[in-house]
Amino acid sequence: MRVNLSQLTNPNAVMGMLMNLATVETDPREQFAKSEMPHWIPPGVAPAETTDEDWILRVAGISTELADRSADIRACLTAYSQAVANKRPELQAVALWQRVSASALRHRYNALHVQAVRELLKEEPLIDIVLEPFISVVDRDLAGINEQIDAQLELRAKMRSAVASEFDAAFTNRAAVRLRMTRSIADQYTTRLIDDLAPSITVALERRAPELLPVFDEWHRRFEARPLRLEDVKPTSTRVRRTT
């Protein structure tokens, strides 16, 4: 029997994030032909000097993104199904579909992933709390989930733009080059909005978008008040985000 996605009772927010994470661009040919840098290039790494080396490194980058995305998908779905869902799938079935033992599932996620999933399911989730434990999840992976998150993403984009403009003004429009970065310091693939940019955003918004400052201050307050932080949770897997 064919089932329409609209018939499912799983929360739209969890389904939306998982579907977005499962969408990965794995063919490097188009960007390679246009000499465009892929978004998965590691921060602070210069492009390869030869086209042969560039090709190899791009494919290596794809493999890393696939591994990180797989880890995040497993962490999100396992945390939801085993610790958050009201009607939880049978434990053995979840383990079999991941080709691990039921006892090994606890290594797929930790308490911070549970906190992130619960935050995602709130009526007004704070995106930074959702992103915190994941390796590869960025703002765009939450796009299209619901109107509340999309509205927050729009404000976040404006805040990032203000920070980028502030850095460009300070470094004569060459901030990324001067800081030896492949992308803007405000790029979602480079930095987390609150965790990494809080001091810079406050200054940038005061100068360039003061109407957004109270919004950011409230987000910052909520982020600092979260029950668990990255440093509070001991990693149970090799592919988890860690404090630097």
* Predicted TM-score (pTM) of this structure: 0.84
Distance CA(79)–CA(67), nearest Å, equals 18
The answer to which of 17-26, 36-45, 155-164, 218-227 has the lowest mean pLDDT is 36-45
pLDDT of residue 30: 67
Report yes or no: 158 and 25 within 8 Å, Cβ to Cβ. no
**Which is nearest to 20 in space by CA: 73, 77, 65?**
73
Judge whether 100 and 110 are in contact, CB under 8 Å: no
Please indicate whether residue 81 or residue 33 has the higher confidence score (pLDDT). Answer: 81
Cα angle at 242 between 116 and 223, to 5 degrees?
A: 40
Provide the residue ranges of all domains of the chain, joining segments of one domain with +: 9-228
CA atoms of 224 and 112, how far apart (whole Å): 14
Give dist(CA 172, CA 159) in Å, integer. Answer: 20
pLDDT for res 6: 53
| 74-102: pLDDT as tens digits | 999 999 988 998 888 788 888 888 888 88
Q: Is the pLDDT of residue 9 over 70?
A: no
Residue 139: what pLDDT?
95
